[in-house]
Structure 1
Amino acid sequence: MSAFDKVIGYETIKNELLQICDMVHNKECYEALGAKLPQGILLYGDPGLGKTLIAKCFIEESGLKSYVVRRNKGNDDFISNITETFQKAKENAAPCIVFLDDMDKFANEDSDHRDAEEYVAVQSGIDEVKNCDVFVLATANEMRKLPESLVRSGRFDRKIEVKCPTDKDANKIIEHYLSDKKVSEAVNMEDLSKMISYSSCAELETILNEAAISAAYKRKTDIEMEDLVKSVLRMIYDSPDNYTKTSSEDIKKTALHEAGHLVVSEVLCPGSVGLASLRSTGRDSTGGFIHRCKELSRRPYYVLVSLAGKAAVELYYCDTVASGCRSDINRACNYIRDGISENATLGFGMIDVSTRSFPETSENMNSRSEAVTHAELERYMRIAKDILLKNREFLERVTAALIEKETLLYSDIRALTEGTTITEVAV
């Protein structure tokens, strides 16, 4: 049995680390071919993804003694601790591992100021133990906070990104966290996995535990789907359990807005929406949201989905300019600007040629970019309305379902799509 069996999923990462452990255990096989142990491993990625667990499993699998360094002292004391740890590892315990956990928290630096004494101490320590059978392992959330000289090859030869679990891995993690809980047979596991896709391992564990707490408080014998949905809404979207309902007319407009996002997303990328709700996101805000469980394949699709909520409301309320769309419009503008200024979607004439040496974007360039962005917004808005008009029955069915149920799960959305003729629109 491998220590990595404690880690669910992440097979590619585990295989890479198992290779390093094999080098530790069977050094002569590698030395015969002139292969040397890599100079350190850095696991990086968002918080809550299991980097520290993976690192601990690596230490256990390697069978080597380890020295752990975490930020738990003041500046001078901590710097001394870093230096002393590397010295101990070199003198007393080689071969061994020095584990630098949350290395980006060793100093309060940003991407423009990365020369803190703590990182200088780490860098010196790594150089001091080179060729001394001391292996350096580190984790970090934000690579941008770390000096390039520290994370370069020769100090950390392997830099492994830890990402949110894939659908397959997420399902295994959900099953693992539910294994010690009593769950109703009526719970739809596909609905559950789709509504919490792209969540970290820590988030998944918390969501499922909160659902169990809610069910127990109501003295239920099983965790039901409503407990899980309620937990997702509260933990991921900060949607209060009790919120003030608006007028029926405002609810209809909100339902139309979210239905617009959902319909355009499903037309362009079937099966892409895992959850849709009229519940507010945030304690003080109004309006609903959709959660995509599948990434869209093209940048124009993101623009169209962003504008679809505004388009849907203005199609049905032609004398009204839809409100509450500021974030959607800003998002669409950013997608358009990125396309024209970075990827030359409208030719090289719109490429932003400013650099670090020449940082200023010309006034003429700004004016042209602004004009083109406005024109593209209008063009995409027309396309979004065309998609909605050609799929009017689908839009109206989704709107009615949202008004009736408030929250639609993946299975609800699939039932709506299967019962409606979807008309594709070329983009």
Structure 2
Amino acid sequence: MKQQSNKKDTGTSKEQKPNTPSGGYGFNWIYLVLFGFLIAFSFFSNPISGSKEISWSFLQDSLLTKREVSKIIVVNREFAEIYIKNSTGVDSKDTNKSLFSTVESPKYRMTIGSVENFENKLEKAQNSFSSADKIAIQYQNRTSWFTTISWILPIAVLILFWLFMFKRMGNGGGMGNSMFNIGKSTAKLVEKDTRSSVTFKDVAGLKEAKVEVMEVVDFLKNPETYTKLGAKIPKGVMLVGPPGTGKTLIAKAVAGEAQVPFFSMSGSEFVEMFVGVGASRVRDLFKRAKEKTPSIIFIDEIDAVGRSRGKGGAFQTNDERESTLNQLLTELDGFGANTGVIVLAATNRPDVLDKALLRPGRFDRHIYLELPTKEEREEIFKVHLRPLKLAKDVDTLALAKLSPGFSGADIANICNEAALIAARKKEKLVHQHDFMEARDRIVGGMERKSKIISPKEKETVAHHEAGHAVVSWYLKNVDSLVKVSIIPRGKSLGAAWYLPEERQIVTKTQFIDQMCASLGGRAAEEIIFDEISSGALDDLEKATKQAYAMVSYYGLDKKIGPMSFYDSSGQNDRIIGKPYSESMAQLIDKEAQALILMAYEKTKTVLVEHRDELEKLAQHLLKNEVAEKKDLEAILGKRIESVSEDADKYDDTQLSIIYNKE
């Protein structure tokens, strides 16, 4: 068996040898040598290439007077070629002959200007000559190699440039170097011998999505299991989800697990500067896939060519993109048969895709990949921690519990950043505190302790963050507060850190308490300094958006009632204006403003009641710059409401996420 595999590898390597010479230039060097030879030939074969330029005085005094001129030929009425007699005692070596010609060449050359003037001068100079000694003038019209090359060379350079450009465009996907391959598909083919190293074991979490995709792979491997019951293979599977949730990773796992040819390309590769190239590439892609059936095609970021036709009005029409989409629709489910080819596609913008593309028969299955849960995050951490040299204090459960809302890409970034931090510290192992520092840096930005802040500004920031902390501590529906800091980080001058609960729904009371926590900083500035600053911009933006969402989206306002103006289909994007009347718009603005003002007054009431704790916490922040959970409990007391079990168990606040930034 071992010998057979070696022979197979040897045969494969022979087949993969390129046909062109080393360096990849092919026969282009032959054309370059030939072109250089023609230029050299034109130069050396030119009869006047070795002629010496002279003036009239030299011709008259040195040549005509001594009777050394044998003949004069006027060429193109522009210059005269002067030939010397061999019998005058002139050395034969001075008789110029071209390198590739045996024809005698002129010894001298002179620009004559006007032919009539030259004839008159020559006639006067030969007045004393006898009839036998007088020199006859011959006239010739010639086409020089240099004249021809002067207009051929620029055209040749342009042709060579365009050939080079077409070659570069034809190189994609290994489809050849000719300009005629521009309409060929650039998809990368993955077969059994070149399978991806990623398998389903490397895809942590996403259990339901893996089951759906693995069933497609199993159908290709064992089709009789399904066909005997009359089932048909699904033609397309659409992977939909936020960025970083593992759509492309699942496709790589399919390429690694499937025992069939796997074609992969991006949706943007169908788009070219030439009309009709996109549709041609779609046809060629499916033609190649059908030749190797059963096979799988993966199109990443399909929204590049699958956008809804006509959406956005006539200002965004693109005939080339639409023709590519029409060809893709026809290939997926058209008049012709398309058996044995399954199409995987991925996008994070399903709202912009054409409905004809999403219908059953083209993409029969839509797999939604959501942000991972706590258990799934723990599995993802374990996958990305495999290549790292970990210390014994690293707790994956703690990392998973204290990273809500993180995608798989975010978790991979944390693990890599922790390893970089440990290496920067010259540590031999990656410790838990390295992951804490990595997460702080990714979420909040890099600490900027060197940033100069005036004492007055620092005092304002300290009371601002203390206001967030006090309001959050005494309102039961706010997430558990675990850290407050006035160290500049990223663009923020300070931050309050929370441990969010993973909620699926949010009540009206929870919305209002969250708005109060956001407005705590501005309210604290007004109570302590009787003056407000611009530092609450992020807080005000967040509170305003929450208020308008409560009123116009979630139907949580009594006056407006159970109405929602949210458009999940995106069809109202083409409507200029709002989908409600002016009177309703005024009512929405009025109710949103009333909600914010009510939350602000509630926030001020809490802060006035606990002003002493506010002052103590602000002074602690001015002195230490950071208040951990134990410091908060020492100043504000034990929180009466039930705190998250995770926050009690893992007291290290460096792993909580930023909630407020100034």
Is the aligned partner of 1:343 residue 2:554?
yes
Count of residue correspondences: 419
Equivalent in the alignment of 1:16: 212
Of 57, 80, 88 in structure 1, the residue corresponding to residue 280 of structure 2 is: 80
How far 1:7 moved relative to its partner? 0.6
Alignment of 1:421 onto 2:638: yes
SS at match of 1:311: helix
CA contact (8 A) 1:314 1:320 kept: no
Partner residue in 2 for 1:317: 528
Which segment drifts farther, 123-132 or 147-156? Answer: 123-132
- Give the conservation status (yes or no) of the 8 Å contact 2:404–2:500: yes
Alignment partner of 1:119 is 2:328: no
Alpha carbons 1:167, 1:197 under 8 Å: kept:
yes
Partner Cα distance (2:484, 2:380) in 1:
23
Cα distance change on mapping 1:354 and 1:207 into 2, 3 Å:
closer
- Structure 1 distance, partners of 2:522, 2:545, is 22
- List per-residue Cα deviations over 1:62-85 (Å, max 9, x = no partner): 422222222346514444222201
- Give the alignment partner of residue 93 of structure 1, picking from 288, 292, 297: 292
The residue type paired with residue 629 of structure 2 is I
TM-aligned CA distance change 1:377 to 1:233, over 3 Å: same
1:4 maps to 200
Q: Alpha carbons of 1:391 and 1:134: their partners in 2 closer, same or farther (altered >3 Å)?
A: farther
Q: Which residue of 2 aligns with 1:308?
A: 517
Query: How far did 1:175 drift?
Result: 3.0
- In the alignment, what sits opposite 1:368? 587
For the 8 Å contact 1:96–1:135, the answer to whether it is kept is: yes
What does residue range 174-189 of structure 1 map to in structure 2 within 5 Å? 174-187=381-394, 189=396
Q: CA RMSD in A?
A: 3.8
Pair 1:294 & 2:511 matched: no
Q: 1:313 to 1:376 in 2, by over 3 A?
A: closer
Tell me, what secondary structure is at the counterpart of 1:42?
strand
Structure 1 residue 103: deviation in Å? Answer: 1.4
Residue by residue over 1:264-300, the C-alpha shift from the partner in whole angstroms, topping out at 9 and shown as x without a partner, is 55643476457654344534x5332535432453354
CA contact (8 A) 1:275 1:292 kept: no
Gap change, CA 1:393 and 1:194, over 3 Å in 2: farther
Equivalent in the alignment of 1:103: 302
Q: Distance between the aligned counterparts of 2:478 and 2:549, measured in 1?
A: 25
Separation of aligned partners in 2, 1:88 and 1:29: 27
Give SS of 1:325's match. helix
Partner of 1:324, secondary structure, is helix
Superposed counterparts of 1:22-421, under 5 Å: 22-70=218-266, 71-72=268-269, 75=272, 76=274, 77-90=277-290, 92-106=291-305, 112=312, 113=316, 116-117=321-322, 118-128=324-334, 131-187=338-394, 189=396, 192-194=399-401, 196-248=403-455, 250-262=457-469, 264-265=471-472, 267-269=475-477, 272=480, 277-280=485-488, 282-283=490-491, 285-295=492-502, 297-312=506-521, 314-315=523-524, 316-317=527-528, 319-321=530-532, 323-347=534-558, 349=560, 351=563, 356=572, 359=578, 361-386=580-605, 406=625, 412-413=628-629, 416=632, 420-421=637-638
Change over 3 Å in CA distance of 1:65–1:31 after alignment to 2: same
Computing the radius of gyration over CA atoms, which structure comes out larger, 1 or 2? Answer: 2
User: Deviation per CA, 1:372-418, whole angstroms, max 9, x where unpaired?
Assistant: 2222112122333455567778867865775566566xxx5388569
Tell me how far apart the structure 2 counterparts of residues 195 and 229 of structure 1 sit (CA, whole Å). Answer: 10
Distance in 2 (CA, whole Å) between partners of 1:336 and 1:84 is: 52
Comparing 201-210 and 310-319, the one that deviates more:
310-319
Give the C-alpha shift of residue 226 in structure 1.
4.6
- What are structure 2's unaligned runs of at least 5 residues? 1-197, 643-662
Structure 2 CA distance, aligned partners of 1:82 and 1:171? Answer: 40
Write the distance in 1 (CA, Å) between the matches of 2:205 and 2:484: 28
Q: For 2:588 and 2:388, how far apart are their aligned partners in 1?
A: 55
C-alpha distance in 2, partners of 1:74/1:334? Answer: 38
Distance of aligned partners of 1:378 and 1:18 in 2 relative to their CA distance in 1, 3 Å threshold: same
Per-residue deviation at 1:43? 0.6
Greater Cα shift, 263-272 or 92-101: 263-272
Identity %: 26
Deviation readout 1:221-268 (Å, 9 max, x if unpaired): 333455434433333333355541524554454344345445555643
Alpha-carbon distance between aligned partners in 2 of 1:198 and 1:54, rounded to the nearest angstrom:
20
TM-score normalized by the length of structure 2: 0.55
Instruction: Pick which of 105-114 and 232-241 moved more.
Output: 105-114
Q: TM-score, normalised by structure 1?
A: 0.81
Unaligned runs of 5+ in 1: none
Cα distance in 1 for residues equivalent to 2:337 and 2:467: 59
Amino acid at match of 1:420: G
